[in-house]
């Protein structure tokens, strides 16, 4: 990383040519095809060499990157006695409970519907090395992204400048972040004057300025179209607001009152975390606390290694296609190769397309979190979620790809649309290894329709990030679930009665899409659709979705799931048209700033999931019940399953 001499800005983002991590120190310089490349470590030099010279499986025991802060951090004390398992159990559950308490406060006090109905946030505790020591179950994409985010931030904050009561705010996607709406708050906690760690929360603020209300600009070609970018800055110093920062932030969004509420809620959240964890450290003492946190991470590592050791060694590849980037009508490949070597894995995104012009790119934080997310789905869910669990996993995501975007490429959809694709191909790749633990593709989209306008009842601007999602893929033993949020979030859909109370739309239907579940021995789950009628004022809409053209993939002989769609019917017309037809956009799934006039309708459809296994092996009674309940039409049952009524 090259900072300006005055330290005010980044002159150049320096990334490892192999794994894509930011390189803060000197790095390792090596020529490749006549050009000097910078690598973060010798391990990456060697990995790149092996990959270039081997088509198949090879081994290279992993060495995790060592950020500079780890070199200066207090070394682990030599252990005089074996780990105190009782203390570990107590501290882990207490810290998870603190994180949950932080999340409840955030849910109850925040303003954006994506926070309080959507629960698009997460809360964690970290140590001074930037390792995540505990988190609560809120949003999985953020949990996976958290370790890298904390580590990167920790690199840039000189710890000696931190004081009790400081709160750091950050959302820079190129520095460990996920996308600009995801705001991270860090509050250091001290005991007897010594910095012990941080309470952290990440939350999605719906409106952050930029080209479109609600940040999801389907036509962004630069980060600057996607809203305000914030490097690590102090929003509070010694417990007092840094007013200049607040004013800058609130001047750069369309909904300052809402954002003020969300920012206050996040500050309340980390304040609570710090006060609770400080009590705990005081109760058990610093030494016991620090040692037990180390023990907990070692424990998670041990559990994860035991799981990975159960997978057969080998190279497992999988890929999927994103239909377009909103700028050009051409597809992009996301591909992964997972090298299982003993009790470790390397996940390599090298075969993915070069970075797109449009906003589908993923940051390294997203790509890394997606691998963690995928792996956590096929391993024991009871492993405590801390940085230790991720030690046996090394993610390699070369820069300049759709899987590791370079500055100033756009990326807002990477966290919502590309993350689930990456987590799903991670799971898909492992299908060849553990067929009974995997699932066909889910819908993989949050639909991500955002809109804003002037509210007819009061003089306030409104903005909303509306989430919908479709079916799960079929899995061994069960059909896919209908209408469940994509794998990267755990958000809830907006109830119609809340939605209409807040926004001048009328929801005309909210219904399952029959036949959208891909056929299979276990079929995919169904997607659903809603039709929104603009009632009073023109509404500006944008979307970052996918799967309007590319279907959710099946597995082991199943059929793909149904597509999603966005159709519009102008007032007075009886015809439904795509956004491309009606507004001359490149893509119907990704677009910016269309005007929906009063009387116009927009119909949003979320895709179904792919099928698992041969449809002819499906239980006949299940097919008959599907027809009775209308999940599968009679025609489709005859065609896909050779169904006949006896």
Partner 1 sequence: MRNVLGVDVGGTFTDFVAYDAETRKVSVWKELSTPADPVTGIIAGLARYEDRQSVGNLRIGTTVATNAVLERKGAVVAYVTTKGFRDVPFIQRGNRKAHYDMSWVKPKPLVKRRHCFELDERIDAYGRVVTPLDEAQVRRLAKEIAAMPEIEAVAVCLLFCYLNPEHELRTREILADELPDKALSISYDVLPKWKEYERASTTIADAYLKPVVGRQLKAMRGKLNSAGVKAPAVIITSNGGEMTLEAAADAPVQMLLSGPTGGVIAGRFVAEDLGIERLVTIDMGGTSTDVSTVIGKKESFTTAFEIEWGVPIQIPMIDIRTIGAGGGSIAWIDKGGMLQVGPQSAGATPGPACYGQGGGDATVTDANLVLGRINPENFLGGRMKLDKAAAHSAIAKLAGSLGQEIEEAALAIVRIVDNNMVGALRSVLMERGLDPRDFTLCAFGGATPLHASALMREMGIPRAVVPIHPAQFSAYGFIMTNPRVDRQRTAQLVSTRFDAERANRIVDQLVAESLAELRAQGYKQDIEVHRALEMRYLGQNYELELPLTLERFAAGTTAKLWESFHEAHQARFGFSTPGEIIEIVNFMVTAVARTAKPALAEISVSDSPAEPKESRFVWFIDGPRTIPVFERAHLRSGQSVAGPALIEEDASVTVLEKGHRLAIHRHGHLIIDATQEA
* 359-398: contacts with partner 1 (CB under 8 A): 373, 376-378, 380-383
Query: For residue 399, which of 337, 350, 339 has the smallest C-alpha distance?
Result: 350
Question: Given candidates 11, 248, 309, 498, which one binds partner 1 under the rule CB under 8 A?
Answer: 498
272 binds partner 1 (CB under 8 A): yes
Encoded one letter per residue, x for contact with partner 1 by CB under 8 A and - for no contact, window 48-87 reads ----------------------------------x--xx-
Exposed/middle/buried for residue 597 (C-beta within 10 Å: 0-12, 13-18, 19+) = exposed
CB of 495 to partner 1, least distance (A): 4
CB of 537 to partner 1, least distance (A): 14
Task: Write out the binding residues for partner 1, residues 503-532 only, by CB under 8 A.
Answer: 506-512, 525, 528, 531
Cβ proximity to partner 1, 253 vs 411, nearer residue: 253
Question: Given candidates 1, 45, 143, 395, which one binds partner 1 under the rule CB under 8 A?
Answer: 143
Residues near partner 1 (CB under 8 A), total: 88
Instruction: List all residues 6 or more positions away from 242 whose beta carbon is below 8 Å from its beta carbon.
Output: 233, 234, 235, 236
573 binds partner 1 (CB under 8 A): no
How far apart are alpha carbons 587 and 545 in whole angstroms? 10
CB of 314 to partner 1, least distance (A): 22
Task: Write out the binding residues for partner 1, residues 88-127 only, by CB under 8 A.
Answer: 88-90, 93-94, 97, 100-101, 104-105, 107-111, 113, 116-117, 119
SS3 200: strand
Kindly indicate which of the ranges 36-44, 158-166, 301-309, 334-342 contains the residues binding partner 1, using the contact rule CB under 8 A: 301-309
| Phi, psi for 342 (deg, rounded to 5) | 65, -125
Cβ proximity to partner 1, 119 vs 405, nearer residue: 119
Question: Given candidates 38, 484, 537, 622, which one binds partner 1 under the rule CB under 8 A?
Answer: 484
Instruction: List all residues 6 or more positions away from 572 whose beta carbon is below 8 Å from its beta carbon.
Output: 599
248 binds partner 1 (CB under 8 A): no
CB of 172 to partner 1, least distance (A): 26
CB of 109 to partner 1, least distance (A): 5
Burial 260-289 (b: 16+ CB within 10 A, else e): ebbbebbbbbbbbbbebbbebbeebeeeeb
How far apart are alpha carbons 322 and 55 in whole angstroms? 25
433 binds partner 1 (CB under 8 A): no
CB of 438 to partner 1, least distance (A): 8
595 binds partner 1 (CB under 8 A): no
Query: For residue 249, which of 182, 167, 169, 152 has the smallest C-alpha distance?
Result: 169
Tokens of 506: 């009328």
243 binds partner 1 (CB under 8 A): no
How far apart are alpha carbons 230 and 355 in whole angstroms? 23
536 binds partner 1 (CB under 8 A): no
| Long-range contact set of residues 147-150: C-beta below 8 Å, sequence gap at least 24 | 147/387, 147/390, 148/176, 148/364, 148/365, 148/368, 148/369, 149/176, 149/177, 149/178, 149/184, 149/202, 149/365, 150/124, 150/126, 150/176, 150/186, 150/198, 150/200
Could you list the beta-strand ranges (E) of 579-641: 590-596, 601-605
420 binds partner 1 (CB under 8 A): no
Cβ proximity to partner 1, 89 vs 578, nearer residue: 89
Kindly indicate which of the ranges 24-32, 185-193, 405-413, 624-632 contains the residues binding partner 1, using the contact rule CB under 8 A: 624-632
271 binds partner 1 (CB under 8 A): yes
6 binds partner 1 (CB under 8 A): no
Cβ pair 249, 257 in contact under 8 A: no
- Kind of pairing, strands 314-322 and 167-170? unpaired
Cβ pair 201, 185 in contact under 8 A: yes
CB of 96 to partner 1, least distance (A): 9
282 binds partner 1 (CB under 8 A): no
Tokens of 137: 């179950």
Encoded one letter per residue, x for contact with partner 1 by CB under 8 A and - for no contact, window 173-212 reads ----------------------------------------
DSSP 494: P
490 binds partner 1 (CB under 8 A): yes
Cβ proximity to partner 1, 220 vs 533, nearer residue: 533
519 to 168, 170, 396, 480, 556: CA distances (angstroms): 49, 45, 35, 11, 11
Cβ proximity to partner 1, 26 vs 621, nearer residue: 621
- Kind of pairing, strands 505-512 and 528-534? antiparallel
Cβ proximity to partner 1, 194 vs 508, nearer residue: 508
431 binds partner 1 (CB under 8 A): no
634 binds partner 1 (CB under 8 A): no
443 binds partner 1 (CB under 8 A): no
CA contacts within 13 A on the Cβ side of 239: 7
567 binds partner 1 (CB under 8 A): no
Tokens of 349: 């995104």
Tokens of 202: 């990440």
CB of 277 to partner 1, least distance (A): 12
244 binds partner 1 (CB under 8 A): no
Query: For residue 76, which of 125, 128, 135 has the smallest C-alpha distance?
Result: 128
CB of 13 to partner 1, least distance (A): 31
Cβ proximity to partner 1, 388 vs 409, nearer residue: 388
459 binds partner 1 (CB under 8 A): no
* Cα dihedral value 393, 398, 404, 407, nearest 10: 140
Question: Given candidates 6, 33, 53, 628, which one binds partner 1 under the rule CB under 8 A?
Answer: 628
Reduced DSSP (H G I as helix, E B as strand, rest coil) percent helix, strand, coil of the chain, to 5: 30, 25, 45
How far apart are alpha carbons 207 and 205 in whole angstroms? 6
278 binds partner 1 (CB under 8 A): no
570 binds partner 1 (CB under 8 A): no
Sheet containing 344-348: order of strands: 314-322, 332-341, 344-348, 393-396
Cβ proximity to partner 1, 410 vs 504, nearer residue: 504
CB of 433 to partner 1, least distance (A): 15
Question: Given candidates 59, 62, 73, 137, which one binds partner 1 under the rule CB under 8 A?
Answer: 137
């Amino acid at each position: 990383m090259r900072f300006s001499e005055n330290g005010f800005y980044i002159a150049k983002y320096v990334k490892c040519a192999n794994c894509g991590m930011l390189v803060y120190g000197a790095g390792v310089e090596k020529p490749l095809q006549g050009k000097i490349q910078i690598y973060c470590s010798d391990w990456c030099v060697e990995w790149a060499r092996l990959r270039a010279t081997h088509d198949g499986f090879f081994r290279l025991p992993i060495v995790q990157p060592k950020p500079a802060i780890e070199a200066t951090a207090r070394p682990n004390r030599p252990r005089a006695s074996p780990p105190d398992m009782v203390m570990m159990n107590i501290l882990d559950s207490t810290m998870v409970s603190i994180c949950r308490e932080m999340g409840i406060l955030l849910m109850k006090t925040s303003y954006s519907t994506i926070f309080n109905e959507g629960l698009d946030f997460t809360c964690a505790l970290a140590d001074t090395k930037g390792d995540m020591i505990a988190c609560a179950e809120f949003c999985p994409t953020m949990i996976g992204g958290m370790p890298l985010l904390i580590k990167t931030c920790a690199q840039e904050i000189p710890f000696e400048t931190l004081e009790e009561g400081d709160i750091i705010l950050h959302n820079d996607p190129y520095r460990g972040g996920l996308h600009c709406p995801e705001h991270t708050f860090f509050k250091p906690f001290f005991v007897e004057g010594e910095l012990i760690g941080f309470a952290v929360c990440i939350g999605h603020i719906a409106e952050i300025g930029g080209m479109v209300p609600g940040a999801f600009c389907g036509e962004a070609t630069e980060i600057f179209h996607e809203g305000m970018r914030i490097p690590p800055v102090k929003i509070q110093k010694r417990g007092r607001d840094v007013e200049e920062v607040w004013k800058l932030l609130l001047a750069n969004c369309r909904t300052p009152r809402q954002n003020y509420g969300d920012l206050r809620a996040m500050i309340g959240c980390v304040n609570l975390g710090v006060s609770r964890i400080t009590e705990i450290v005081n109760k058990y003492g610093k030494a016991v606390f620090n040692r037990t946190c180390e023990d907990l991470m070692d424990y998670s590592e041990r559990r994860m290694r035991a799981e990975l050791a159960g997978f057969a060694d080998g190279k497992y590849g999988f890929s999927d296609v994103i239909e377009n980037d909103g700028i050009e009508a051409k597809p992009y490949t996301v591909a992964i190769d997972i090298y299982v070597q003993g009790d470790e894995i390397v996940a390599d995104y090298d075969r993915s397309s070069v970075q797109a012009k449009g906003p589908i790119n993923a940051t390294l934080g997203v790509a890394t979190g997606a691998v963690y997310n995928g792996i956590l789905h096929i391993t024991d869910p009871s492993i405590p979620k801390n940085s230790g669990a991720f030690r046996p996993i090394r993610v390699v995501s070369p820069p300049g790809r759709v899987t590791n975007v370079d500055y100033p490429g756009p990326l807002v959809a990477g966290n919502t649309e590309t993350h689930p694709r990456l987590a799903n191909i991670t799971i898909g790749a492992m299908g060849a290894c553990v067929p009974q633990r995997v699932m066909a593709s889910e819908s993989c989209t949050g639909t991500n329709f955002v809109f804003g306008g002037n509210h007819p009842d009061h003089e306030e601007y409104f903005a909303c990030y509306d989430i919908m999602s479709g079916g799960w893929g079929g899995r061994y033993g069960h059909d896919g679930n209908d209408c469940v949020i994509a794998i990267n979030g755990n958000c809830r859909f907006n109830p119609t009665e809340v939605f209409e109370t807040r926004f001048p739309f009328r929801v005309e239907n909210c219904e399952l899409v029959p036949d959208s579940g891909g056929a299979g021995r276990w079929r995919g789950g169904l997607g659903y659709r809603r039709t929104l009628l603009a009632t009073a004022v023109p509404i500006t809409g944008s979307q970052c979705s996918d799967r309007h053209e590319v279907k959710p993939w099946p597995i082991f002989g199943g059929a793909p799931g149904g597509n999603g769609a966005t159709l519009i019917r102008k007032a007075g017309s009886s015809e439904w048209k795509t956004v491309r037809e009606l507004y001359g956009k490149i893509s119907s799934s990704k677009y910016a700033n269309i005007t929906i006039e009063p009387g116009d309708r927009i119909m949003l459809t979320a895709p179904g999931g792919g099928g698992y296994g041969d449809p002819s092996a499906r239980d006949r009674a299940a097919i008959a019940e599907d027809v009775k309940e209308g999940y599968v039409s009679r025609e489709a049952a005859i065609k896909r399953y050779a169904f006949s009524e006896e």
